[in-house]
Every structure is written in C-alpha cells, then in structure tokens.
Amino acid sequence: MSPELVLFDIDGTLVRKTGLWHRQAICEAVRVVFGITATTEGIPVHGMLDPDILTLMLLAANVEEAEITARMPALVAAAEDYYLSVTPELPDCHCPGVPALLDSLAERGTVVGLVTGNVTRIGWRKLERAGLGGRFRFGAFGEMAATRGGLAKLAIARARQEGWIEPDAKISLIGDAPQDIRAAQENGIQSIAVRTGVTPEGHLEACQPDFLLPDLTHLDLAILRR
C-alpha cells in the first residue's frame, strides 16, 4: 500500500501540442457514425470530456440529443479506431518536468493514475506515442462518467478497492484547467494546478487550487504525502 495517490490530467498537464490527431478523430467519428461533417470550431474543448465535445458538435448540426446519446458508444469506438490508425510518434511534446517527476514518483512507490477527458484508447495511445507508456497504473477516462469530478471519484474508489493505497493516503489531482481544480474540490482531495495548458490568465487563481505552479518542475514532492 502506498501513502499517496497522484492523479494526472493528460492534455496541457503531461503533454501538449498533440491535439491535431485528436480533433481529427472526433470529426471522423461524426462522419462515420452520422454521415455528416461537423467541426470543433467554436467549442471550448479545453478541459472538456470527449463525449461532451461530440455532443456539442452534433447539437450544432441539428442532431437530436436522444439520438446522440444512443449512438455515443459507436462514436467513441469510431474516434478511437481512427486515432489509433493515424497518430504518429509524438516526440518533444512533454510538458516541462514530466519524465523526471514520474521517475521520482516511481522511486517513491507512489500510485499514479489518470483522470482525463480523453476516451480510453485515445488516452492510452497518446501517452504511448509520447513515450509515457507504462507510467500509469490505471485511469478514469472521458466515457466513464458524466463529469470530471465523477471520473476522479471513480479513480479514487478503484485505488481503494484494489488495496493500492493506505486508508488515509494523501490524494492529489494535478491538472491545467479549472475543471481539474473543481474535480479535486468536489472529492475533497488536494488540487494542484499548472500553467502549462491554455487556460487564460486569472482563471486558475479564481478556482483557488491548493497549489498553483508554473509547471511541474516546481512541484515539491513533500506536498504529496501527509
């Protein structure tokens, strides 16, 4: 059992400049499943769950919400299939400090997981292509809950059910968006925000995270353990 659990967002926290193939996959899923062209243009995708992005795209294309819900599993599968087929290696896309931090956490025996809006196979492939495959024990992904707070709840519950963490383990959620901070706060865990994403100035401060860092090179490991 570990005395600490650290949960990471992916985009803007672990990696950046990887969005092209992800957006293409979402658009291709709409084309395959509904036979229409839709775009993420005008949708504030940062911090959103992939199913919510797909829903907003299709609502903008005048598709009924009930039909979107019914066909969401097919949309997710189509997006994942396309992403896996086209995404190249993603060198030099790590946010500052990521590999070194993950090395340090592994040496400490910290349980490390994901809480991300990416759907499952996209999230795992993105990390694999970025050279971060095998670094994370488990994840809660975008199709698994309706909100990011719900995803964090699932991740915490699984870590406890599997016996990976001590009953009073310190739990932290690291992310670059206001949604990450709120997810931590909703679950009563430590929120650590980083400025490595595209969140406008002042928005992270307004959410009052426990810690706000320029990037992960500034993370003091002491705050992760009681």
Instruction: Show me where the domains of the chain are located.
Output: 2-16+91-224, 19-86
**Could you give the CA distance from residue 51 to residue 142 in angstroms, rounded to a whole number?**
7
What is residue 207's three-state secondary structure? coil
- Output the average pLDDT for the chain: 97
pLDDT value for 213 = 98
Is it the case that residue 195 has pLDDT exceeding 90?
yes
pLDDT value for 73 = 98
Angle at 98 between CA 175 and CA 129, to 5 degrees: 95
Is it the case that residue 6 has pLDDT exceeding 90?
yes
What is the mean pLDDT of the segment spanning 120-143? 97
Residue pair 197/181 in contact (Cβ under 8 Å)? The answer is no
**Could you give the CA distance from residue 226 to residue 212 in angstroms, rounded to a whole number?**
19
What is residue 213's three-state secondary structure? strand
Identify the CATH assignment for 2-16+91-224 out of 3.40.50.1000, 3.30.559.30, 3.40.50.720, 3.30.390.50: 3.40.50.1000
What is the mean pLDDT of the segment spanning 184-205? 97
Is it the case that residue 55 has pLDDT exceeding 90?
yes
What is residue 217's three-state secondary structure? helix
Supply the pTM of this predicted model.
Answer: 0.97
- Structure confidence at residue 37 as a pLDDT band (50, 70, 90): very high
What is the mean pLDDT of the segment spanning 27-43? 95
pLDDT value for 226 = 80
